[in-house]
Amino acid sequence: MLNRVLGLAMGAALSVAALPAAAQEFTFRLAHYLPPMHNMAANVLPGWAERIHEQSDGRIRIEIFPAGQLLGVDEIFDGVQAGVADIGWSMPGATPGRFPVLSVLELPFIFTDAETASQVIMEVYESGAMDAEFQGVRLLYLHTHASGILNTIPRVETLEDLQGLRMRFPSPAARMMLERLGAQPVGVPAPQAYESLERGVLDGVAFPYDAMQGLRLGEQVNYHIDWPTYVLTFYLVMNENSFNSLPEELQQLILDNSGMQEAIAVGAAWDASDVRAREFVAGLGNESFALSDEEAARWEAAVQPGIDAFLEETEAAGIPAREIYEGARARVQALSGQ
């Protein structure tokens, strides 16, 4: 993958127009992997790009390349570092092992909504805990999707019902969770999940409600278990040289549209998309239901040893994983007033 990215970088044209410094205009390429109909692809990222274009009086233009047209989901970080893309949006889970602190924050039972999760994760980033993970790029913001749930073709009400079901997982933490619950985790890229369900390769998927509409997965599953579990994190990063090519006032404009407040706003947009998607699946005739308190306790008890093992393994690699995990849980409680 890295060789491909470096090869593309060597052949990439310079994106900054050679105009006089006083009137210089800049065109940046933004790569992501989502299909154009997804809310992030259709509204959030284009809205951000248009806002920057307007606020810069047209001096910054951002061209968006969706659906892996420029870089694949697992190539985006390296591609931004190398200058193939100037800006990239992707998920750390696509490159397992590369973002250990973020992996801790994707463990189950920390967050239940994207707005809170995005704030807490940005706070952890601002503490310096992720400095090593984002070397070589300018991090613009981190955010999450709304809480992931299990969406299935057959009805699943008990742990026994879940045994052996082939479930798509989005991250190492979600894979661990599914294994502990007795399902069979299957690695499928998000854009291929619809076809995999349609062909019978999968019995279900771990995704938030948002994906049921944004990726049309609600058309292929029948049931949605309202058991909030994990969140998936996403990053928006910028090539350092591209950022440094801007005059100071345009650098500040980028920064003014990045950081904590942008992360919280994007998280809130994902929560709103989740609400719309719940209505969407109801319109399809799908059924959403909650686990009983007793059953939910069984599921959580099944997953907890995996969480402990994950934390221990990450601690052995020199990351204060349990401190980060428990600190995030405490921060969520503080923000919710509990």
The residues spanned by each domain of the chain are: 2-95+136-144+235-269, 149-230+275-335
- Model pLDDT, residue 9: 53
Say which amino acid occupies 13.
A
Q: What span, in angstroms and rounded, lies between the C-alpha atoms of 251 and 244?
A: 8
Tell me the fold of 2-95+136-144+235-269: D-Maltodextrin-Binding Protein; domain 2 (3.40.190)
In this structure, are residues 11 and 19 in contact, taking their beta carbons and an 8 Å threshold? Answer: no
The two structure tokens encoding residue 97: 């092992």
pLDDT at 130: 97
Task: Decide whether 2-95+136-144+235-269 matches 149-230+275-335 in CATH topology.
Answer: yes
pLDDT of residue 217: 98
Q: Does residue 98 contact residue 241 with C-beta atoms inside 8 Å? A: no
pLDDT at 225 (0 to 100): 98
Helices and strands of the chain, counted as H and E runs: 15, 11
As a whole number of angstroms, the distance between CA 38 and CA 45 comes to 10
Ranges under pLDDT 70 in the chain: 1-23, 338
Distances, alpha carbon 47 to alpha carbons 35, 40, 141, 268, 269, in Å: 16, 9, 15, 15, 12
pLDDT digits (tens, 9 = 90+) for 160-219: 999 999 999 999 999 999 999 999 999 999 989 999 999 999 999 999 999 999 999 999
pLDDT at 23: 59
**Amino acid residing at 290:** A
How much helix, strand and coil, in percent to the nearest 5, is found in the chain? 50, 15, 35
State the DSSP code for 95. Answer: S
Residue 216, CB half-sphere, CA atoms under 13 Å: how many? 10
52 with 286: CB under 8 angstroms? no
Q: How confident is the model at residue 19, as a pLDDT?
A: 44
pLDDT (0 to 100) of residue 3:
56
pTM score of the predicted model: 0.91
- What pLDDT is stored for residue 313 in this prediction? 96
Residue 120 corresponds to which tokens in the numbers above?
């807490």
Q: Supply 338's token pair.
A: 């509990």
Predicted pLDDT of residue 13: 42
pLDDT for position 337: 83
Strand partners, 111: none
**Superfamily of segment(s) 149-230+275-335:** Bacterial extracellular solute-binding protein, family 7 (3.40.190.170)
